[in-house]
Amino acid sequence: MNRKSIVSWILYDFGMAQFSMVILTAYFIIYFKEIVVGSIGGRGDFLWGVATSIAMASAVLSSPILGSFSDISGKRKNLYIVFSLISIVSTLMLYFSNRGTILYSMTFFVIAYACYAINMTFYNSFLKDIVPERDIEKYSGIGWGLGYFGGLTSLVIMIFLLKDLEHSKVIIIITAISYFLFALPSYILLPGQKITTQRGVSLFSGFYELGQTFRNIRAYRNIMIFLLSYFFIS
C-alpha cells in the first residue's frame, strides 16, 4: 500500500469539492443568474438548468464508453489528467464572464462541469489499485469527509472575499488554482495501468465493451436495478 498515492487521491477530493461549492452551489450559480443573465422572468434559472442538463447528459452518455476505453487501453491516468485539466482551465475561463456573456458562460460551464463529472469515473477507479480491498470503504470515507471539509474551507474563504456578486470574481480564480494544486500530486503519484490488450485499441473498443456489458446485463439484474434506482433518486 503506497501511502503517498493514497494521500494524493484524497487531496484531489479536497480540491474538486471547492469546485462543487463555489461553481455549483454558492457563487457562480448566483452570479450567472443575477449578473450574466439577469433575474428578470426567471430566465437565469431556466438557462442554468439547460446548461446543467447538457453537462450531466454529456457525462452520463460518455462516461461508460470512456471508462471501458480506459480499462482496455491502459490510458486511465492520461484521461484522468486530461479531463481534470480541461475542467480546471474551463473553470478559470469563467472569470471572464460578464453581463450578457450568456453563451460564453454556458459553454465554459458545461465543459467544466461535464469534465468534472466524467473524471469522477477515472478518479474513483484508482482506489481499488492503491488500497487493499478491505480498506476501500475506510479510505473512501476519508476522501468523502475531507472533500466536505474542502467545500467548507472554500465557503469560508468566499465569505471573507465576497464584496458583491459582480466584483468578487477573484473567487473563481482562487478556486481554479486550488483545484489544480490539490490535483497535482495525484498526477505524479497515482499509478498507471498495465496494458492487457493488443495494440491498436481505439475509442471504438469502448463502444464494443459497453455493448458486451449490455448484452450480458441479465446476469447482473440486481446491480442494474440498483443503478437505475440510484439514478432516478439522485
Instruction: Tell me whether residue 229 is in a domain.
Output: no
Reading phi first (left if > 0) and then psi (alpha if -120 to 50, else beta), residue 64 is in: alpha
Residue 66 has pLDDT above 70, yes or no: yes
Q: What band does 73 get if pLDDT is binned at 50, 70 and 90?
A: confident
Q: How confident is the model at residue 161 (pLDDT cuts 50, 70, 90)?
A: confident
pTM: 0.84
pLDDT at 207: 54
Q: What is the CATH number of the domain that holds 138?
A: 1.20.1250.20
What confidence tier does 75 reach under pLDDT thresholds 50, 70, 90? confident
* pLDDT per residue as tens digits for the range 6-57: 999 999 999 999 999 999 998 999 999 999 998 667 799 999 999 999 999 9
How far is residue 219's CA from residue 229's CA, in Å, rounded to a whole number? 18
Q: For cell 439484474, name the residue.
A: 221
210 within some domain: no
**105 within domain boundaries:** yes
The predicted structure's pLDDT at residue 57 = 92
Residue 231 falls inside a structural domain: no
Of 148 and 221, the structure prediction assigns the larger pLDDT to: 148
pLDDT at 31: 95
Mean pLDDT estimate for the chain:
85
Q: Of residues 187 and 221, which shows the higher confidence score?
A: 187
Cα distance between residue 48 and residue 27, in whole Å: 13
The pLDDT assigned to 16 comes to 92
Does residue 225 lie in a domain region? Answer: no
More confident position, 225 or 91:
91
Range of the domain at 125: 3-201
Residue 65 in domain:
yes
How many domains does the chain contain in total?
1
In a domain, 66, yes or no: yes
